[in-house]
Amino acid sequence: MKHTPKLIATLLLLLLTSLHAQVGNDAFLAIVGDKVITLFEVVQNTFMDEQKLRNEYVGRELENKIADLRRRTLDYLIERELCYKEFKALKAQVPTDYLQNRLNEIIEERANGNITLFEEALHKQNMTMKEFKDQLEKDLAIYMLVTDRRTRGNTISDNQVIAYYEKEKDSMATPSSYHLAVIQLRKAGKYAGKLDETVAEIIGQIKDGVPFEELAAKYSEGSNAEKGGDMDWMEKPHPTLLETVNKLQPGQICTKPVELGSSLFLVKLIDLKKGGVPDLTPELLEKLRSKLTKEEEDRRYKELIRELYMKYPVTRMDGTK
């Protein structure tokens, strides 16, 4: 029987979403060189995250979320094995002092420095100290290789940052934000027939120094009247309103009513956060340098994994190599 790619993918989905009770089968998911990665190993790494998913999703959506999580975890475990094979191929070694210091730190963190208690905890997990130390050495070996490939010579100069800023600065622009308060008077509301007189009355009180917020609470027919007409911060006021607001300074009130639809508005600009392209301050320069450094590290890591996939045999049960 010929297995089509679609059928194989469907079978893998069923395998990856197997219930935890089925993990005992220890099914093979991938082989990296002579290292076999099993479903049990994948689920060991995803167990906690899967519990969170089970609390948030159900049915087919849950199955898809778990399958995606396990696929990504399988990718991660394969990449780890590839990196470890490369570390050994380079005949590199984890310095003894580095390994021992890290082991001491872990014992301090997990057992307050008590080796006996730490070994007892390992025993409950069916692991010996030697097995733990061997695993730690492998973890450090992978960390050393990946860190070296990601960071060695990865220095982003000021000129590179400046060039990036000049190219991307328009995309960094932020919109202005306006903190407004309004007194809304509906044309067909409780002031119908005496709208002009009411507006004049309010403006007169504003000129006499009555707080805008007090007048809004008294006169406004808007939903925010009880909050003194406070509209909170907004980035995109109505264009007609924005035209008026742009003529004000923070704290100023426009005493000429703005007509919008079926209402008139008296507007106060409480505060303003001007947008636009940010200046290349020392703080922004360092932030952009960190961004570019991280992007280069990610690029290098992807390149490393691509090279290792070509260098070492990898077989996945979905047929991908």
pLDDT digits (tens, 9 = 90+) for 119-129: 999 999 999 99
Residue 268: left (phi > 0), alpha (psi -120 to 50), or beta?
beta
Q: Of 243, 73, 268, which Cα lies nearest the Cα of 183?
A: 268
pLDDT at 102 over 50: yes
Q: Please report which residue ranges of the chain form alpha helices under DSSP H.
A: 5-16, 39-56, 59-89, 96-111, 115-124, 129-151, 158-172, 195-207, 212-219, 239-245, 282-311
User: In angstroms, what CA-CA distances link 165 with 26, 54, 152, 277, 294?
Assistant: 51, 43, 24, 10, 16
The reported pLDDT for the residue numbered 71 is: 93
Rounded mean pLDDT, 24-31: 79
Burial category of 105 from C-beta neighbours within 10 Å (exposed 0-12, middle 13-18, buried 19 and up): exposed
How far does the chain reach from its first CA to its final CA, in angstroms?
A: 22
CA distances, 139 to each of 2, 132, 142, 145, 146 (Å): 40, 10, 5, 10, 11
At 307 the three-state DSSP class reads helix
Mean pLDDT for 296-306 is 98
Region 192-214 average pLDDT: 94
pLDDT of residue 45: 94
Question: What pLDDT shows up at residue 321?
Answer: 54
Predicted confidence at residue 2, as pLDDT, reads: 41
Please state, for a pLDDT cut of 70, what percent of the chain lies above it: 91
- Quick one: pLDDT band at residue 20, thresholds 50, 70, 90? very low
Q: How far apart are CA 87 and CA 312, in angstroms?
A: 12
> Which 3 state secondary structure label does DSSP give 261?
coil
In the chain the domains, ranked by start, together with CATH numbers, are: 5-91 (no CATH), 96-152 (no CATH), 177-273 (3.10.50.40)
CA distances from 70 to 11, 21, 76, 131, 316 (A): 14, 16, 10, 25, 13
Once rounded to an integer, what is the mean pLDDT over residues 286-315? 97
Distances (CA, A) of 37 to 7, 126, 282: 22, 19, 47
pLDDT in tens, 275-297: 999 999 999 999 999 999 999 99
Mean pLDDT computed over 298-303: 98
Using DSSP's 3-state secondary structure scheme, residue 35 falls into strand
Mean pLDDT of 147-163: 97
Q: List the single range of 7-16, 95-104, 172-181, 243-252 with lowest mean pLDDT.
A: 7-16
Q: DSSP string of 205-234?
A: HHHTT--HHHHHHHH--STTGGGTTEEEEE
* Selection from 51, 60, 21, 65 nearest residue 39 by Cα: 21
Could you tell me which residue, 205 or 20, shows the higher pLDDT? 205
Q: Is the dihedral of CA 257, 215, 274, 175 positive or negative?
A: negative
Are residues 123 and 273 in contact, defined by beta-carbon separation less than 8 angstroms? Answer: no
50-90 tens-digit pLDDT: 999 999 999 999 999 999 999 999 999 999 999 999 999 99
Question: Which pLDDT does position 4 carry in this prediction?
Answer: 45
Q: Does the structure show a pLDDT above 50 at 21? A: no
Between the CA of residue 105 and those of 87, 100, 226, what are the distances in Å?
24, 9, 58
